[in-house]
Amino acid sequence: SPQATGPFTLQLECRACSTTTTPGPGGACTGGSDFQNAVQLAYDQPLSCDLSANDAHMRDLQGVRYVKLFTFQAQAGSSRITVTTQAFTPLILVLDNQGRVLAQGASPFNHTFQAGQVFIGVTSNELQRTGAFTIQLSRGGSPF
């Protein structure tokens, strides 16, 4: 069987409740497997998370993708969502509360929001890819 060497990061996982805890600069990234447990984002506070097979699943024409779900109280106007990772090519989704994709794009992703609760999904452009990433929400940014 293959063996790995080198530095490792320990992640505690609660399989019964499908939440993970990964410390990050903006706090802990806990939840994200469904809309009721979406990870809370705040403007200008980067958050380190992991995309895993325990997150929500989205089926499209190519197959199944894992999606970490986030929510925040949007201010009316343009916002920028930036996802950085070495593990996968990030795809950012704007979702309604039923899971329908309203908009999507590569990082950094600029979108004009109405004021109110917004749901965001982070997934991999490659099927079933997982790994660590950092997400940051900021005001402004071009809507194009």
What pLDDT digit, counting tens, does each position of 92-141 carry? 999 888 888 889 999 999 999 888 899 999 999 888 889 999 999 998 76
Would you state the structure tokens that stand for residue 126, as one six-digit string? Answer: 């490659």
Q: For residue 33, what pLDDT is reported?
A: 86
CA dist 12 and 125 (Å) reads: 26
- pTM of whole model > 0.95? no
Across the range 52-67, mean pLDDT stands at 88
CB 123 within 8 A of CB 72: no
Q: Residue 25 — left, alpha, or beta (φ > 0 → left; ψ -120 to 50 → alpha)?
A: alpha
